[in-house]
Chain A
């Protein structure tokens, strides 16, 4: 295509100016990539922190609520209180677990009895949130066995695992007995088998692990469980999957996103800030291209006029400028993506003394395709203005100047 040849010649005619323009575009694209990778990296770090040690979906019995019953007599409404004497438990948990096992997106299943209790040691009493699990599934939701700092993770028939803060509060160490009192008034002496330190205060201060076997008589649940906790292969899909499970099991299914609504809000706000910066970096790139091409079109009025006088079509002239925009966009976006990736990759190697990243940047999440396509398309759009004005030049006026 001859317009392409002309466009290329025009760009090479002033190499330093073209290089400067391309550097400008590339810098804008680099900024875009950096901010995208940073926002994504932050989001990944935050969600990882949240999803690593907690369930992605929790299944519980439906909360029983008072219901307003429709009445044929419009003025009188009857309210049905659904029985609350029944224990809130999942009786048919075995079949639910079976269903969950058949789901490829489920990574781990942990049927639990959750309840509250007190640990009593001499005069000291501390409330604990009890999580009773099958001992083989101790690490299914939170990694506990690797965090044991004293004793071991074998629960056995009368064992209990507690966090390091709780142990400090009660002055307990591994191997010692402690009195366990449930909210149902059942007492039993258990042995502290292990003490864990996860670094998460809520866990280390409040949570105690028992085996299901041990917990059943203590919580008067001979067969049921109170909840089933799940890990998914893709935590991002938890919301959809929870909706599916609620439908399939009739249980209340809560995704980690729902439990961490404030995190969601923070991530959304962060993403919006990122979008704003992305838009501004793109706009400045496009303005740069439009103004550079407008200057070029103006400087070449005489040439354009003579081309028009010789009957070269408007489309050809417009094509020359749009192609210049396209070339600048393609090359600038390409270089910008490469340099953005290089920058993010380098930043990702910067490690703080404690081993964490200085910037939680995700070099692979720089939005490369998006920025490449947007910049290239944008460059074409930005060149439309100078292209139109060049194509509309009146040959006579342009030549006489």
Chain B
């Protein structure tokens, strides 16, 4: 089976006035289906930058990316947005739920927006996902009435809504306490095992890294070590 993600020679240079910052200097990274990979590295090493590039939120200065065998360099902005919507899932450190919508509506949103509304099957899937993340009793709560950990679990369910091939998580437990972080982590592992969803998780946390199937470390703009 082909790689879910195949990034080659990814370079990223930020320009701030006259000052150039070479954050990534030729990163090669491949993810196989069903992997749960921790992306480690010191603060400022370029983890978030790499994740954004892989997530089609940022165009690299150089390098090629293929997701599930499909090259993405040639895609227009509109096509990239549609690609993100259909094939990628995102979990950020801060949940960014839509405060005016219920948990179920938040989960269904990525499917509902392009389709023009929440259909019954979408609602059913959203509820299944919420049940999976242990929020059966909070499905119709407004997002604002959930605890931080609950919100992050809703965010995970939302990331899975459109059955993405690759889920990108940037410090998903960064704003949670130990217990909530454990729950979220277990959940991602479970989803990863049961749905064969591939995860790439940026983290500082050794705890998180220890639970992943593989760790990748960024150092000086390159992949430092790969430990299986």
* Residues of A near any B CB (own CB < 8 A): 1-3, 5, 9-10, 12-13, 302-303, 305-314, 316, 395-396, 399-400
Tell me if B199 is interfacial: C-beta within 8 Å of chain A: no
Contacts of A13 in B (CB 8 A): 99-100
**Given A302-B96, A399-B92, do A1 and B101 touch, yes or no (CB 8 Å)?**
no
Contacts of A400 in B (CB 8 A): 48
**Chain B 90-113: CB-based contact to A (< 8 A → 1; otherwise 0):** 101010101111000000011011
- 6 A-B Cβ contacts within 8 A? A2-B116, A309-B57, A310-B113, A311-B88, A313-B113, A313-B114
A12 to chain B, nearest CB (A): 8
CA distance A12 to B99 in the complex (A): 12
Interface of A is mostly: helix
CA distance A221 to B48 in the complex (A): 106
Contacts of A399 in B (CB 8 A): 92, 94, 96
> Judging by beta carbons under 8 Å apart, are A1 and B92 in contact?
no
Pick out which of these stretches binds chain A: B28-36, B78-86, B173-181, B207-215.
B78-86
CA distance A306 to B159 in the complex (A): 11
Tell me if B146 is interfacial: C-beta within 8 Å of chain A: no
Q: Whose C-beta in chain B lies nearest to the C-beta of A394?
A: B57
Tell me if B58 is interfacial: C-beta within 8 Å of chain A: yes
Name the one of A1, A308, A313 contacting B117, with C-beta atoms under 8 angstroms.
A1
Contacts of A3 in B (CB 8 A): 113
**Given A311-B84, A312-B113, A313-B114, do A9 and B101 touch, yes or no (CB 8 Å)?**
yes
Tell me if B1 is interfacial: C-beta within 8 Å of chain A: no
CA distance A308 to B52 in the complex (A): 13
A195 to chain B, nearest CB (A): 79
Tell me if B118 is interfacial: C-beta within 8 Å of chain A: yes
Contacts of A5 in B (CB 8 A): 117
Contacts of B113 in A (CB 8 A): 2-3, 307, 310, 312-313, 316
**Interface positions of B from 99 to 146, Cβ below 8 Å from A:** 99-101, 109-110, 112-118
CA distance A12 to B52 in the complex (A): 34
Tell me if B55 is interfacial: C-beta within 8 Å of chain A: yes
**Given A2-B116, A2-B118, do A311 and B110 touch, yes or no (CB 8 Å)?**
yes
Report, as a range, how many residues of chain B touch the other chain.
20 to 34
> Judging by beta carbons under 8 Å apart, are A306 and B96 in contact?
yes
**Given A2-B116, A396-B57, do A312 and B96 touch, yes or no (CB 8 Å)?**
no
Name the one of A2, A12, A306, A311 contacting B85, with C-beta atoms under 8 angstroms.
A311
**Given A2-B115, A2-B118, A5-B117, do A312 and B85 touch, yes or no (CB 8 Å)?**
yes
Contacts of B94 in A (CB 8 A): 302, 399
Q: Whose C-beta in chain B lies nearest to the C-beta of A301?
A: B96
A329 to chain B, nearest CB (A): 21
**Given A308-B81, A311-B84, do A396 and B58 touch, yes or no (CB 8 Å)?**
yes
Q: Whose C-beta in chain A lies nearest to the C-beta of B92?
A: A399
CA distance A399 to B48 in the complex (A): 12
> Judging by beta carbons under 8 Å apart, are A303 and B118 in contact?
no
CA distance A313 to B80 in the complex (A): 10
A305 to chain B, nearest CB (A): 7
Q: Would you list the 9 A-B pairs with minimal beta carbon distance, nearest first?
A: A311-B85, A311-B84, A306-B96, A9-B100, A13-B100, A312-B113, A311-B81, A310-B110, A2-B117
CA distance A303 to B99 in the complex (A): 8
CA distance A194 to B98 in the complex (A): 85
Contacts of A2 in B (CB 8 A): 112-113, 115-118
**Given A2-B115, A396-B57, do A313 and B90 touch, yes or no (CB 8 Å)?**
no
Contacts of A303 in B (CB 8 A): 96, 98-99
CA distance A400 to B170 in the complex (A): 11
> Judging by beta carbons under 8 Å apart, are A306 and B92 in contact?
yes
> Judging by beta carbons under 8 Å apart, are A309 and B58 in contact?
no
Name the one of B84, B100, B117 contacting A309, with C-beta atoms under 8 angstroms.
B84
A384 to chain B, nearest CB (A): 20
Q: Whose C-beta in chain B lies nearest to the C-beta of A8?
A: B100
Name the one of B109, B115, B118 contacting A307, with C-beta atoms under 8 angstroms.
B109
B77 to chain A, nearest CB (A): 8
A399 to chain B, nearest CB (A): 6
**Given A302-B96, A309-B55, A309-B90, do A1 and B116 touch, yes or no (CB 8 Å)?**
yes
Q: Whose C-beta in chain A lies nearest to the C-beta of B56?
A: A311
A347 to chain B, nearest CB (A): 41
> Judging by beta carbons under 8 Å apart, are A313 and B58 in contact?
no
CA distance A400 to B96 in the complex (A): 11
A119 to chain B, nearest CB (A): 86
**Interface positions of B from 51 to 94, Cβ below 8 Å from A:** 52, 55, 57-58, 78, 81-86, 88, 90, 92, 94
> Judging by beta carbons under 8 Å apart, are A312 and B81 in contact?
yes
Contacts of A311 in B (CB 8 A): 81-86, 88, 110, 114
Contacts of A302 in B (CB 8 A): 94, 96
